[in-house]
Structure 1
């Protein structure tokens, strides 16, 4: 394990040096919230935040992303031919990403990098990215990462993990990408304080007050859980706004649409949500999930059952708590998980499928 100690007074100097080799992204306060954005020259990430309102998944998976362009002008030789739009996949460093958000990239990767399908847009952005994590020493009351396969000092998905240590930062190099970034910043290994990370991790985990239980999800019969009697109650207050899915770092649903202006067209990828009524609408007019209850059930079954069964990689959630904090009608994934995990098949009754 390689440790680097960086005096806070030298932090900006190091990032400025790294900006010669990387596009830098980090959390910046905008009005009352922090959001991840590309940093302007000389701009520094703001670590006074606990977590951002939206996850940084948009850095790899933009909310709207133009993929192809074409012309309908038949006077041109290349009319009606799709051409890839140029992308900037030069090296980028995401500085200050929380461990839960870094772990989420590995869950999302299971969808975009499969043996049969490899999404070049997501994968090229992922390969270009270096993730510099900031340990989470002040978790919120809605954070339940430690029981969702993650934690405030979790290292999966990170290339470097940074913690505060008085007037300095202590950084743990976790990959070759992390070492390359440290070299670009001029940060040299100069610390043997490995115990500090363990002490920081333990203290941060002790501050986590929220938990979920997931031990029974894999063994529970899928169809009986699908027909459980509690879905109507869970869905009662939902307004299908999509806030939960758009704020979630592990939601990956998207739609592909063409937009034409005059004789110029683009094909673009846009975030979509299983909570929207037309998400599953067929061209025939049939909609297999045309009720609110069916859509709410789909969201939680996907995260807490289908994903568990398919990938055997835990739940499709890292416990960041964003959906808990932002749901306008107070639907809480922790309570839903408890109902699903404690469900007994004998409790099932006949409900609409």
Structure 2
């Protein structure tokens, strides 16, 4: 595993070189926060400001994405035929400044879009053509609990290259062939030694929030589903969807057609299990008409259904966004603890 040093003067020059062969994205100011945006000429990503408001998933999986186009004009030979949009652009994408927890989320999400039975090209192809340049997290927030869920501030899983800032310079650990190709394209090649492990240990020691997911798999699903604590958890919930939109491992979407005149397109948009219409059926029946049922669905999916289906941990990377952004202070760490410790009352004889 090769480590290189990127001096300050080479950093900005390298980014400009990359824009010749990549569509480059990174954290940029957006009102009172930071969001991942495509970098224009002369722009450099703003690193070191904690997690962005939304995760990097929007680069791979946009909030609104056109899948097919069609025409209803019967004078045209291809009328009423769906045409898939071109997925590959002229340039591959690279994202600079990805937090390790965001990169790890793609492994969890991929199980939904890329399985032995089905591959979703609208997710798989953009993901596979994107290079993820991570930025190690030396100052985790009080809401971060990534080390409790198999991740960490220096986690390398899902990344192609991992950056660490030292003074005005960067040290980078090249993790994959895509990461090596990006470094070459940027002109970053100075071999170096850097003690990643000491920095990793120091960063992990700063994480004070912990949860334990042990025992969730052994819990009986129907016991948790029918538990009486959901009313208390969901009492203050507004069903605003902030938790699901900010979560890097939420993947639900809705598909709609939009037509103007005779020209139409089929698009998919992020959706949320917090919304009333999410499970509304064509018959008018809604199996989750109440907000408490929708709150239960979110946490059961993250902390129980995913665990039961894949036996690969919870569907969470511990980024803490939902804790930070929830307007009524619902905390997934507390919910996990309640679920883990729940014991149903004994049945009367």
Q: With structure 2 as the length reference, what TM-score do the two structures score?
A: 0.97
Q: Does 1:117 align with 2:105?
A: no
Q: Secondary structure at the match of 1:19?
A: helix
**Is 1:250 aligned to 2:249, yes or no?**
yes
Contact 2:10 2:188 in 1 (8 A): no
Q: Which sections of structure 1, spanning at least 5 residues, go unmatched? A: none
Runs of 4+ with deviation above 6 angstroms: none
Shift of 1:88: 4.0
CA distance in 2, matches of 1:339, 1:348: 21
The equivalent of 1:92 in structure 2 is 93
Which residue is 1:52 aligned to? 52
Cα root mean square deviation, aligned:
1.3
| Offset, 1:102 | 0.3
Structure 2: 5+ residue runs without aligned partners?
none
What's the TM-score once normalised by structure 1's chain length?
0.96
Structure-2 residue corresponding to 1:20: 20
Task: Say whether the 8 Å CA contact 1:130–1:159 is kept in structure 2.
Answer: yes
* d(CA) in 2 for partners of 1:347, 1:259: 53
Alpha-carbon distance in 1 for matches of 2:97, 2:180: 16
Matches within 5 A, 1:21-36: 21-36=21-36
**Deviation at residue 303 of structure 1 after TM alignment:** 0.3
- Aligned length, in residue pairs: 347
Mapped to 2, the partners of 1:138 and 1:111 lie a distance apart of 31
Residues 228 and 347, structure 1, Cα contact 8 Å, conserved in 2: no
Q: For 1:59-78, list aligned pairs within 5 A.
A: 59-78=59-78
Alpha carbons 1:229, 1:348 under 8 Å: kept:
no
**Where does residue 241 of structure 1 map in the other structure?**
240
CA contact (8 A) 2:87 2:126 kept: no
Name the SS for the 1:183 alignment partner. helix
Output the CA distance in 2 between the equivalents of 1:284 and 1:291: 18
Q: 2:275 aligns to what?
A: 276
Partner of 1:324: 323
The alignment partner of 2:276 has SS state of: coil
- The more displaced of 81-90 and 340-349 is 340-349
Partner Cα separation in structure 2 for residue 98 and residue 161 of structure 1: 9
Whole-Å Cα distance in 1 between the matches of residues 14 and 85 of structure 2?
Answer: 33
Q: 2: distance between equivalents of 1:347 and 1:174? A: 52
Aligned mates of 1:226, 1:114 — CA distance in 2: 27
